[in-house]
Amino acid sequence: MNNILYRSRQKENLDKDVLNFLSSLREDVNIFYYDILGTQAHCLMLNKIGILTSDELSKVLYSLNKIKYQSKNEGTIQYIISNELSFEEDIHEQIESIVIRDIGIDIGGKIHTGRSRNDQVVLDIRMKLRDDIMDISEDLISVIKSLIVRAKEHKDTIISLYTHLQQAQIGTMSHYLLSYSFNLLRDLDRISSSFEKINLSPLGSCAIGGTGIPIDRNYTASLLGFQGLLENSIDATSSRDSMIEYLSFLSILMTSLSRIAEDFILWSTSEFNYIELSDKYSSTSSVMPQKKNPDPLEILRSRTSIVIGMLISSLSIIKNLPSGYNRDLQDLKPLLWNSSKIVKESLCIMQGIIDTFKVNKKNTLYSANKSYGVSLDIAEQLVMKYNIPFRKVHKLVGQLVQYAITHGNIPLDKTPQDEVNKMLNSSKIKIDLDELMSILKDIKPKKSILLRKSYGSPNPLQQTGMINSIEKSLLTYAKVLTERKELLFTTINNLDNVILNTIGDKGN
């Protein structure tokens, strides 16, 4: 006979290599604290329904609190390693073993009544993700705020806008920065919405089919601050779709950040020289002394691929699983923890870069001036002045640009007047030559921004409108976040107090 906790049927211990292969103990450091809290709530409920006497409850809670505080002092991973009993497959088994070792099997052996590791592990995951969602939402709000600060600074900073990476139209730096504020606002909306699906309690679903113990699922859910229950015990223990949804939202967020990274990498090349990253956010070369490399942005770009990879792994882990808990599900956990960690770090790096990058306004303007990005503005002015079909003007301006490019990239208004006249004659458009020449002279990048006033355009007035609407939305999300945080903080605090009161003098 062995005395190993869960091996009641087996005559032999688990092979050592198999244990190493199976065990999630080390990675479970991420849910260690939540597992204790969940067990404490479960034991309070067991007391409420008469499975644990008040004296037993107080001993159990005290023992669990000791684990909580000792691990805090020692460092959780250190605590896990130093308390390893050479047979535990995961943190649930380890914590139960420590309690039994501490207060004996007669009392400690009762704590797993009416639950299974299958509902226990999802409970822990959900509690951890709840916190991750709030942390990431908070970080995202900060990044969006930083984008707005920089946008306010650069309402009049001219830059070229690109399509196909070719100069397209004239824009403003604020317009660019705000485009990602809107994008990240949607990321915030997605991630924030996943909270509702995650914040439901699976506890009490037991292994798959519920329990004969008259448990009170609502009681444990409310002690732990859940909005409600996952109603169906099969669904509660074996589904992971809400976690995968969370991972997919993180992947989408990372792709947004990665696109900003890509722009900044490009813009900080000598060829563009639109922006300069702060020294704090750039690396160098071991051999080329002149180098200033955007390594943090490159790492962010590759981490995006890693997060996407983890989403794909999680989908593949799930897709062929029969209903009910399967051990494959264990491998989903590190994918969640690692993705959350990468996203938090990436947001922090991105915020620092946004806060500190310098815009080389002279260069952005120079490049816009050299481009033919005003071509469409010229065409549109002609359409409005002469009410001629756009398609005809498109051709005329196209010919002007063609001439300018083949004659040394001259500005459009430096096209010889007789050449312009020839083009006008062959196009059969009735436009006054002098007026056309003065339009060519007049419509330069700065002017073009003022002329383009359509809703959502780079026009400075439009920027003000956008800033206002983003700031308004941010306030709403920040309010929801604060409410969630306060509610959870108060709930967990209350739970701690109930535990301390139950323990009484022993706790001091």
Backbone φ, ψ for residue 366 (5° rounding) = -55, -45
Exposed / middle / buried, residue 50 (Cβ in 10 Å: 0-12, 13-18, 19+): exposed
Supply the angle between the helices 241-267 and 173-198 in degrees, to the nearest 10.
170
Catalytic residue among 193, 278, 285, 323: 285
What is the smallest separation between the CB atom of 360 and ligand ARG, expressed in angstroms?
51
Exposed / middle / buried, residue 458 (Cβ in 10 Å: 0-12, 13-18, 19+): buried
- x/- contact string, 84-113, with ligand ARG (CB under 6 A)? ------x-x---------------------
Backbone φ, ψ for residue 455 (5° rounding) = -55, 125
User: Which lies closer to ligand ARG via its Cβ, residue 34 or residue 325?
Assistant: 325
- x/- contact string, 153-192, with ligand ARG (CB under 6 A)? ----------------------------------------
User: Which lies closer to ligand ARG via its Cβ, residue 47 or residue 237?
Assistant: 237
Catalytic residue among 8, 86, 164, 286: 164
Query: Rounded to an integer, what distance in angstroms lies between the CA atom of residue 36 and that of residue 409?
Result: 71
Tell me whether residue 164 is one of the annotated catalytic residues: yes
Tell me whether residue 92 is one of the annotated catalytic residues: no
117 makes contact with ligand ARG (CB under 6 A): yes
Candidate residues 29, 60, 99, 121; the one interacting with ligand ARG per rule CB under 6 A: 121
Nearest residue to 250 via CA among 242, 240, 239? 242
What is the smallest separation between the CB atom of 464 and ligand ARG, expressed in angstroms?
51
DSSP annotation of 27 reads G
User: What is the number of the residue whose Cβ is closest to ligand ARG?
Assistant: 90
- Judged by CB under 6 A, the stretch of 253-261, 314-322, 326-334, 368-376 that binds ligand ARG is 326-334
User: Which lies closer to ligand ARG via its Cβ, residue 303 or residue 333?
Assistant: 333
Q: Give the max Cα distance, the chain.
A: 105
User: Which lies closer to ligand ARG via its Cβ, residue 177 or residue 332?
Assistant: 332
User: Which lies closer to ligand ARG via its Cβ, residue 96 or residue 187?
Assistant: 96
Candidate residues 62, 274, 325, 337; the one interacting with ligand ARG per rule CB under 6 A: 325
Exposed / middle / buried, residue 485 (Cβ in 10 Å: 0-12, 13-18, 19+): middle
Query: Rounded to an integer, what distance in angstroms lies between the CA atom of residue 314 and that of residue 241?
Result: 10
What is the smallest separation between the CB atom of 329 and ligand ARG, expressed in angstroms?
5
Interactions with ligand ARG, residue window 333-352 (CB under 6 A): 333
327 makes contact with ligand ARG (CB under 6 A): yes
24 makes contact with ligand ARG (CB under 6 A): yes
What is the smallest separation between the CB atom of 116 and ligand ARG, expressed in angstroms?
7
Residue 507: Cβ within 10 Å count: 15
Query: Rounded to an integer, what distance in angstroms lies between the CA atom of residue 139 and that of residue 481?
Result: 11
- Judged by CB under 6 A, the stretch of 53-61, 99-107, 249-257, 329-337 that binds ligand ARG is 329-337
In order of 46, 192, 216, 237, 417, the CA distances from 213 in angstroms are 9, 36, 9, 18, 94
- x/- contact string, 52-91, with ligand ARG (CB under 6 A)? --------------------------------------x-
- Judged by CB under 6 A, the stretch of 115-123, 289-297, 389-397, 454-462 that binds ligand ARG is 115-123
User: Which lies closer to ligand ARG via its Cβ, residue 291 or residue 327?
Assistant: 327
| Residue type for position 122 | V
Candidate residues 39, 118, 169, 399; the one interacting with ligand ARG per rule CB under 6 A: 118
Is residue 201 within 8 A of residue 216, CB to CB? The reply is: no
In b/e form, how buried is each residue of 250-275, taking b as 16+ CB within 10 angstroms?
bbbbbbbbbebbebbbbbbeeebebb
- DSSP H helices in 280-374: 295-319, 332-356, 361-370
Q: Which helix (H) or strand (E) holds 140?
A: helix 117-153
Candidate residues 188, 329, 350, 368; the one interacting with ligand ARG per rule CB under 6 A: 329
What is the smallest separation between the CB atom of 29 and ligand ARG, expressed in angstroms?
13
Query: Rounded to an integer, what distance in angstroms lies between the CA atom of residue 90 and that of residue 204?
Result: 20
What is the smallest separation between the CB atom of 362 and ligand ARG, expressed in angstroms?
57
444 makes contact with ligand ARG (CB under 6 A): no
Q: Which helix (H) or strand (E) holds 171?
A: strand 166-172
Q: Which residues bind ligand ARG (CB under 6 A)?
A: 24, 90, 92, 117-118, 121, 325, 327, 329-330, 333
Which residues are catalytically annotated? 164, 285
